[in-house]
Amino acid sequence: MSSPVESVVENVVDRIDAVDTETVDNDGGGTTNIDRWANLAERVLAGHRLSTGEALSVLAAPDDELLDVMAAAFRIRRRYFGKTVQLYFLMNAKSGLCPEDCGYCSQSKVSEAEIPRYNLLNEEKLLDGARVAAERNSKTYCIVISARGPTEREIDAVAAIVPKIKQQYGLQICACLGLLTPQQAQRLKDCGVDKVNHNLNTSEEYYGEICTTHSYRDRVDTLRAVRDAGMELCSGGIVGMGERREDTVRMAMELRDLGVESIPVNFLNAISGTPLEGANRQHPLDPRFCLKVLAMFRMVNPKSEIRIAGGRELHLRSLQPLGLYAANSIFVGDYLTTQGQPPEADYRTIEDMGFEVTHGEEVAMRA
């Protein structure tokens, strides 16, 4: 007897197969909802760029059409990434002590959350984290520090450790060090960093509601410095901070315009002691809406890696497996200051879905 999640997965596959093999008409001879979403996916695959209205329609899709939306998202995901999943591993290399006032963050100066606070980890601990990342079958090791931007000493430490990690473990490196100057970005490129993470987090219009110590444009400038240095961009955002759906769509489109290669989609885990600690009650997210968010990001950014990031266990709950029909990447293990689920649960989900973990770039068929 199938479990509820297995039954839903089977239904999505059935919808994909139906759309691939037949044209579905309603009793009046018009277009059905299956056609509506399938046609949108086909237009995207043919080069169409989603409009604001089309992206909003994905977020507003009735729950009865959820499986059709996910089937459409999977058609796009399958074209560019097949049935592969890429794993990322986070290392909180410097915790707390941040002078910024980001309302969602447990490490900010305005946070009273009970978290570990320490300066940059030494080389031995960073290498040990890379060992764990490799053992967990991760493609990318993410070195993250809490800061407005890195000090010269921190840049030096990253520049020294990255070649050793790559030599010993063959991992790709993503650095998340805060705001960067062009010179700092170039140093990261020169030492072997593959991509830099710097999230937009929300739309430019809403950004002032979540942070006042730096601007949205500061973040965009960092991403442009990273691009100019020749590294890939990793940038996404957080859903559930009180923003409107239009803000989420604008963020997705800004990421498209910036050509971001890797997009982490977070669902706010409102941490006690932060200014947004009550946001999950005030602006509740349900698993079905979270799936529509992932589908929208896939349709707006068809060739980008979409990663289900923080909050997936809390907000997707038993529907986590369905997220992989739109996304092709997840974090394995814990997040910066919150726990993830055991890696074994992720491996089992990937296997049960008929997907496979990959390390290579060759799966991103971005022609």
Write out the DSSP string of 311-363. Answer: THHHHTGGGHHHHTTT--EEE-S--SSS----HHHHHHHHHHTT-EE---GGG
Is 175 found in the same domain as 301?
yes
Is 160 found in the same domain as 125?
yes
Q: Residue 12 has what pLDDT?
A: 58
Q: What is the largest CA-CA distance in the chain?
A: 69
Is 145 found in the same domain as 8?
no
Has residue 229 been placed in a domain?
Answer: yes
Q: Residue 337 has what pLDDT?
A: 79
Instruction: Compute the distance between CA of residue 209 and CA of residue 201 in angstroms, rounded to an integer.
Output: 11
Instruction: Compute the distance between CA of residue 336 and CA of residue 145 in angstroms, rounded to an integer.
Output: 9
Is 320 found in the same domain as 281?
yes
Q: Tens digits of per-residue pLDDT, 141-153?
A: 999 999 999 999 9
Has residue 366 been placed in a domain?
Answer: no
- pLDDT for 90 beyond 80: yes
- Other beta carbons within 10 angstroms of residue 265's beta carbon come to 29
Instruction: Compute the distance between CA of residue 72 and CA of residue 256 in angstroms, rounded to an integer.
Output: 19
Total domains present in the chain: 2
Is 220 found in the same domain as 342?
yes
Listed in sequence order, the residues at least 6 apart from 360 whose beta carbon sits closer than 8 Å to its beta carbon are none
Has residue 201 been placed in a domain?
Answer: yes
Tell me the pLDDT band of 339, cut-offs 50, 70 and 90: confident
Active-site residues, by number, are 98, 102, 105, 142, 174, 234, 307
Has residue 365 been placed in a domain?
Answer: no
Listed in sequence order, the residues at least 6 apart from 29 whose beta carbon sits closer than 8 Å to its beta carbon are none
> E strands, the chain, where?
84-94, 140-145, 172-176, 195-197, 232-234, 237-239, 262-267, 305-308, 329-331, 356-357
Is 153 found in the same domain as 243?
yes
- The pTM of this model reads 0.91
Q: Tens digits of per-residue pLDDT, 59-75?
A: 999 999 999 999 999 99
- pLDDT for 5 beyond 80: no
58: which 2 tokens?
């994905």
Instruction: Compute the distance between CA of residue 89 and CA of residue 169 in angstroms, rounded to an integer.
Output: 13
Q: Residue 176 has what pLDDT?
A: 98
Has residue 367 been placed in a domain?
Answer: no
Is 99 found in the same domain as 67?
no
Q: Provide the percentage of residues in the chain whose pLDDT is more than 90.
A: 86
Instruction: Compute the distance between CA of residue 282 and CA of residue 2 in angstroms, rounded to an integer.
Output: 35
- pLDDT for 362 beyond 50: no
- Residue length, the chain? 367
168: which 2 tokens?
């010993």
Is 172 found in the same domain as 182?
yes
Has residue 237 been placed in a domain?
Answer: yes
Domain extent for 28: 4-80
Query: Which residues in 212-223 are b (16+ Cβ under 10 Å) and which e?
Result: eebebebbbbbb
Amino acid at 333: G
3-state secondary structure of 38: helix
The last residue of one of the domains, among 80, 104, 131, is 80
For residue 140, what is the domain's CATH number? 3.20.20.70
The last residue of one of the domains, among 80, 100, 115, is 80
The last residue of one of the domains, among 37, 52, 80, is 80
Is 60 found in the same domain as 182?
no
Q: Given CA atoms 335, 337, 338, 342 in this order, what sign does their dihedral have?
A: positive
Is 148 found in the same domain as 9?
no
Is 337 found in the same domain as 225?
yes
Is 153 found in the same domain as 75?
no
